[in-house]
Structure 1
């Protein structure tokens, strides 16, 4: 287990200094679709995400790899925070994070408030976008998730913590 270094300090002054990650699930025609995201706390932008029929290490690693391929972190000065799920404690994920120079932080056991921003994102996505779709195929749900993140959430969805701006606009204004 890793210590909770984030300690609910959700206001971040620079991009790519603190990333938070989590996994959620949504019901589809074929069963569950699991969604892993990586969020930059600075702008609340989703910098990596992946979907799968399995909530495994591969799912989390794909989301992390996408974030690492798209963004520039500061080795030794950037934090990666998640819950204590088995996927985040896997050797493969820990090795990827350490190899990228990220300091690893984990929520206290059973305390969802320690990762409130990631939890809040999933609540918004489900309430605003996914639940009205009904029971659709995994492929259709993956497309809906990608559209919500890449088009609506990043470009349109305003955030009180960002002065009413959407994540992309907040980053561009900085």
Structure 2
């Protein structure tokens, strides 16, 4: 819920945003579905057992775990959360080049996109 609200506040998308997720329990809870309805977002989930629709998310989390070496427990939960947030906001979105974006960072890609409402900043 915190991540959804933070993303919504930062991006301010129009009604009808397509929000894709897998069928994990956090995405199917009534409170989460009601929040999406309140934000006028359309929830999209793949069928049970269809892994292709969430391949992008799975790839992201795999990259996060490998690049931050999250197999090792270190610090407090708050410290780990801060480290993950910094990795996403500073490195992943602004510096890391993505092959699917013609080897540009998401911020650089969106700066060149013809849709200014999609800007990350």
Mark the runs of 5 or more structure 2 residues left unpaired by the alignment: 114-121
For 1:104, what is the secondary structure of its paired residue? strand
Mark the runs of 5 or more structure 1 residues left unpaired by the alignment: 1-60
Aligned to 2:10: 70
Matched, 1:120 2:90: no
Aligned to 1:39: none
Greater fraction of residues in helix: 2
For 1:155, what is the secondary structure of its paired residue? coil
Q: Which has the higher contact order (CA 8 A, sep 6+)?
A: 1
Q: TM-score, normalization: structure 2?
A: 0.84
Aligned to 2:22: 83
In structure 2, distance between residues paired with 1:114 and 1:162: 18
Number of aligned residues = 112
Q: Is the 8 A contact 1:84 1:107 kept in 2?
A: yes
The CA RMSD measured in Å over matched residues stands at 1.5
Runs of 4+ in structure 1 deviating by more than 3 angstroms, as ranges, are: none
